[in-house]
Amino acid sequence: MTPALGSRLRRYLFFRRCLFLCCHPVGICFSTRNVCRELPPASRLRRRLSLCCHPIGICFSAENVHTSNRSPSPLFFSTLPNPDDLPLPPLALAEGDAIALPPTDETPNSAPPDPSTRVPHLGHALLFIAITTLFLILSQALALLAGHPTHPLDIDPRLLIASEAVAYLLTLTAAFFVFPPLWQRPFLLGLQWNGPAATRNAIRLIPLGLLLSAIVQGLSNYIDVPKELPIDAFFHTRSTVWLITVFGTVLAPLFEEVLFRGFLLPAFAIAYDWLCLPRTEAARASWQSSNAITRNALVFSAVLTSVLFALVHGKQTAFTWPILALLFCVSLILTSVRIRLRSVAASTVIHASYNFTVFLAAFITTGGYQHLDKLPK
């Protein structure tokens, strides 16, 4: 055989080996079993993945083998170098993807357990109320010490507003850190705050709050109310009126919606479904596998929270029952929006718009709070 013919034959055999390597990755994986036998399990798996998934890289590696051994051997795979010397091709992953491979050791899974699917329940709502009560007592005590009133009821309204605002802020801050470990999820997610829903629907939510407030104020003109109401104490001076305006437009709607629509609404609904649950294994399994709340539970919880919402405002209105009935209807509308959009932020926007309209009417009536004597009595 002439040297030229031998050179052509070697090139032909080299081309056949590369073509086989590139087109038959599964065969490569089985053929390299002897090569990978002495490797640790993790390296063995990694090498086989590399050999099976990247035939072009293997062809380049095989080229080094062929060029270093000009006389092709029938046992080609026995001439492969140590697999650890082969370069690992880069593995590109799309953003958010992950590789799920079986564990290679006996390390226990340290991932946190799955979060409870029903939060906040009644225990969480009671804890939130307890935190609120604690901060209200402390803030009121500080207000009494700062004001030195001759009688606890004679405290300066500005101190009352400031103390209540501080208590609300401290409660929300404490809740932001206390409840996520209990819920195994962020506070706003467990509360179903859902700010994007409120943002998308703001063009409808704000006018709804304005219209609702205008209707309630119009109907209030036909209701006989006492000449003196406890809330009138906050409209004697301009500074007090401005404080109550900011507090009633921003902080009060936020806190009340978190309490009534964020905690109490789901808590009462969950309790209702649990009490109505048949005491069977099938019913218990269905309860644990789903976080759905029945329609009856939502109706019951909406009515109960609306009753509590109206009663909380009873002292301000001297428990004038027609006004409380209007507030009950307002609460039902806020609750329906919160359920419909699954967003406490949405009901907060309506509530803030509602209160803003009340103060806007007072602002216009008194000429920018210049003539407080013009407020309707």
pLDDT at res. 377: 59
Of the candidates 34, 375, 350, the one whose C-alpha atom is nearest the C-alpha of residue 207 is 350
Of the candidates 242, 264, 232, 249, the one whose C-alpha atom is nearest the C-alpha of residue 331 is 264
Q: What number of residues does the chain have?
A: 377
Residue 355 has pLDDT above 90, yes or no: yes
Of the candidates 192, 211, 205, 248, the one whose C-alpha atom is nearest the C-alpha of residue 363 is 248
Residue 328 C-beta-side C-alpha neighbours within 13 Å: 14
Q: What is the pTM of this model?
A: 0.69
Of the candidates 356, 51, 21, the one whose C-alpha atom is nearest the C-alpha of residue 207 is 356
DSSP assignment letter at 261: I
Residue 173 has pLDDT above 60, yes or no: yes
For 267-299, write each residue's pLDDT tens digit: 999 999 999 999 898 888 888 888 889 999 999
Are the CB atoms for 283 and 198 separated by under 8 Å? no
Are the CB atoms for 317 and 231 separated by under 8 Å? yes
Integer Cα distance of 162 and 68 in angstroms: 85
Residue 265 C-beta-side C-alpha neighbours within 13 Å: 27
Calculate the alpha carbon distances from 328 to 156, 196, 249, 322 in Å.
30, 27, 19, 10
Out of 20-34, 230-244, 331-345, which region has the weakest mean confidence (pLDDT)?
20-34
DSSP assignment letter at 192: T
Integer Cα distance of 77 and 32 in angstroms: 7
Integer Cα distance of 114 and 119 in angstroms: 13
Residue percentage of the chain with pLDDT more than 70: 67
For 213-262, write each residue's pLDDT tens digit: 999 999 988 988 887 777 888 888 899 999 999 999 999 999 999 999 99
Are the CB atoms for 192 and 336 separated by under 8 Å? no
